[in-house]
Amino acid sequence: MADLKVLYHAKCFDGFASAAVFTAFYDVYTQTEHSVAYRGLRHGPNSIVSDGLLDGRVNAIVDFRYCSSSRLHWWFDHHKSAFSSPEDRAFFENNKSQTHHWDASEPSCAGFMIRRIREAFGIELRHLESLERWSDIIDAAAFEDAAQVVDLEEPVLQLMAVCEHLEDGALARRLTFEMSDGLVESVAEDPEIQRRFQHIVLGQARGQRIIESKLQTLGEVVFVDLTEVGPITYNKFLGYYLVPDCTYMVTVTGGKTRGLRIAVGSNPWRPYARQHDIATICAQYGGGGHAVVGGISLPHVRIQEGRQIALEIVTKLRGPAAVASDDTSLS
């Protein structure tokens, strides 16, 4: 049993950054030596965190949904879909804790953690200022333009691409520890990170050709069905680069031997055009996210059913925006 177990949002730069921030904070907070175990989590119909995953002596969840368990000692999140049920939201509200923190207005979880830790505990993590800045930029998609995030010339954006493809394991663990130590730019230049990035670049070049052939423009929505092409690597901002005037993008990936994944996003360079709350829409299918971007994992859904769900989402995005209650939007 690890002294500390950290569960974080998997395959996400902000998820890794949040795990790194908590690692750095906990070292300062406890001033003790302790073993650490990490576990990545994905949003989906069965993404409620069970007590069985909270098997450390101390357990933390960062950048992921709340769990109303006595085994959850620390929690930081900024997703609008942070609560799987009204009961979880009520549990959180009725059991206000110095160690459970949530703010859906924050641009990134890692940045939120650094700021809240300073405010609540008086602990300054100044060596993570660069990580804070980049987390806010990346998770809020506050890029200069679509070309910046499609071309991926900055080393930290290259690290972002690697994080989005990185499973739990030795490299993920080493990456988290190194990010907790200081300058994220230095971590991005790690030879293994660069080797993996070059592999991703090759995959994205193939992915761009496929997406260009599959892309459909349905009103203000770009729809891409990739269920028949097999495993594919692609840049999730590519649709906004290819169709700058679109407002939303819906992509469905997966296939016969894998679960399906639906990604839903809004064009960060046309924020005035967005009328829908994407987190609310994704939550209706067991997914989650933010008002501007979200995702759904469908591990046991057939291709045709997954396509139907994706097209239902396209229809919702093309229709009038629904006004949801607080309980609905946070479920």
Same-fold call for 4-140 versus 214-329: no
Query: Within 13 Å and on the Cβ side, how many CA atoms surround 75?
Result: 25
Low-confidence winner among 3-7, 219-223, 253-257, 274-278 (lowest mean pLDDT): 253-257
Q: Span 212-225, mean pLDDT? A: 96
E strands within the chain? 4-9, 36-41, 58-62, 74-77, 100-102, 216-218, 221-226, 248-255, 258-266, 288-289, 293-298
Mean pLDDT of the residues in the chain:
91
pLDDT of residue 47: 59
Q: How far is CA 97 from CA 66, 72, 76, 80, 100, in A?
A: 13, 11, 11, 19, 5
What does the pLDDT average to over 194-205? 96
Task: Please give the radius of gyration of the chain, using alpha carbons only, rounded to the nearest integer.
Answer: 19
Return the closest-CA partner of residue 151 out of 250, 235, 207.
235
The helix/strand count (H/E) of the chain reads as: 13, 11
Do 329 and 277 form a contact (C-beta atoms < 8 A)?
Answer: yes
Q: For tokens 């950290």, name the residue.
A: 6
Is 50 exceeded by the pLDDT of residue 326? no
- For 282-305, letters b (16+ CB in 10 Å) and e give bbebbbbbbbbbbbbbbeebeeee
- What's the CATH code, domain 214-329? 3.10.310
Asked if the model's pLDDT at residue 39 lies above 90, the reply is: yes
Tell me the domain boundaries of the chain.
Answer: 4-140, 214-329
Q: Which residue has the higher pLDDT, 256 or 164?
A: 164
Report residue 20 as tokens. 């790194």
The domain made up of 4-140 is a member of CATH 3.30.200.20: no
pTM of the model: 0.85
